[in-house]
């Protein structure tokens, strides 16, 4: 645990013990998060767990534990035409499920907390664009967005919808979306369908098109990382929502906040790599929990959950 323990200690004010994963019991958890948000100035770091209620699975949480899907790496994508064909075939088949996903109660609650000043900044590891769709247009998308495409040759950016229409003209529905969609928006397809898939080049220079997301093995742009550090520095506390913090790109901000003496709270189903830095760990459904907190803080800005 970090050197600044939570407001009620690890067992909570009701005397009940913490859960097996180190999380606080529900009563203490809600009260601890309410206290964190009540003073305002809280930076949010969100992960895939926030989007599962929108129908988008995660890699490691409740919806992702049984998955054996291996994400595309930057080295594979740039080094192999066959790998690019496989990526775009599978991604084209799953794109509609991502494009049609809608913000859930958790996204909407985060935006409500931002509008009332409880949340000062939102950093998301997700590439689904759901924070933006919920109204948090200034959310920093740490790993980019699937709704954009970038040319590796000329750097031109274009919309994924434009590319989807071109790929549909070349290939049709490419298997449709009957298969289960993976967290990064693709689906499993038969090898024969992948082998016959036709890739669309950049319309400006004929170069290689890549989704405007950070692949595994690729670095997050330095300016974007610094922007996130600045947001954490400017916040009073850090609240992690639905992330196992399994990759360093998100974990570093938790470590940075803890080193700076800022309270860190984590709401996640299951253990995370950041648990040792957390003052408060909570295992509760995100949508219902955040909605209740936003409602009560909005209605009673200077009073606790119990009145």
Selecting among 4, 143, 168, 256, the annotated active-site residue is 143
Q: d(Cα 210, Cα 19) in Å, to the nearest integer?
A: 43
Strands (E), 115-200: 119-124, 140-141, 144-151, 157-159
Active site residue 143: yes
Instruction: Mention every residue, 6+ apart, whose C-beta is less than 8 A from residue 100.
Output: none
Q: How many residues does the chain have?
A: 307
Q: How far is CA 62 from CA 57, 59, 172, 283, 292, in A?
A: 9, 9, 33, 12, 22
Q: Is 241 helix (H, G, I), strand (E, B) or coil?
A: strand
β-bridge pairing 209-213 and 144-151: antiparallel
Q: d(Cα 198, Cα 163) in Å, to the nearest integer?
A: 12
Q: d(Cα 185, Cα 175) in Å, to the nearest integer?
A: 14
Ramachandran angles phi, psi of 159, nearest 5°: -85, 150
DSSP letter assigned to residue 190: -
Query: Which positions are annotated as active-site residues?
Result: 143
């Amino acid at each position: 645990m970090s050197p600044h323990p939570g407001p009620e200690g690890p067992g909570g004010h009701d005397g009940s013990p913490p859960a097996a994963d180190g999380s606080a019991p529900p009563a203490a958890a809600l009260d601890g998060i309410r206290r964190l948000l009540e003073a305002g100035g809280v930076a949010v770091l969100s992960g895939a767990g926030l989007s599962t209620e929108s129908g988008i699975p995660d890699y490691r949480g409740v919806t992702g534990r049984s998955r054996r899907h291996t994400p595309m790496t930057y080295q594979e994508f740039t080094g192999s035409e066959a790998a690019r064909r496989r990526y775009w075939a599978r991604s084209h088949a799953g794109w509609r499920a991502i494009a049609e996903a809608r913000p859930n109660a958790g996204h909407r609650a985060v935006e409500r907390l931002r509008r009332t000043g409880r949340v000062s900044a939102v950093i998301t590891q997700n590439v689904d664009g759901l924070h933006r769709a919920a109204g948090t247009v200034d959310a920093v998308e740490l790993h980019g967005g699937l709704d954009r495409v970038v040319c590796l040759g000329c750097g031109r950016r274009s919309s994924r919808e434009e590319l989807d229409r071109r790929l549909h003209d070349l290939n049709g529905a490419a298997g449709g979306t009957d298969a289960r969609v993976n967290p990064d928006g693709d689906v499993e397809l038969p090898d024969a369908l992948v082998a016959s898939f036709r890739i669309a080049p950049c319309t400006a220079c004929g170069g290689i098109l890549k989704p405007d997301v950070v692949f595994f093995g690729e670095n997050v742009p330095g300016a974007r990382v610094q922007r996130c550090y600045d947001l954490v520095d400017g916040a009073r506390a850090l609240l992690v929502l639905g992330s196992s913090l399994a990759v360093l790109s998100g974990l570093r901000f938790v470590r940075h906040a803890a080193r700076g003496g800022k309270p860190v709270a984590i709401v996640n189903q299951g253990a995370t790599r950041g648990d040792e830095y957390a003052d408060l760990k909570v295992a509760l459904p995100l949508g219902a929990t955040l909605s209740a907190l936003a409602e009560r803080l909005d209605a009673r800005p200077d009073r606790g959950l119990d009145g």
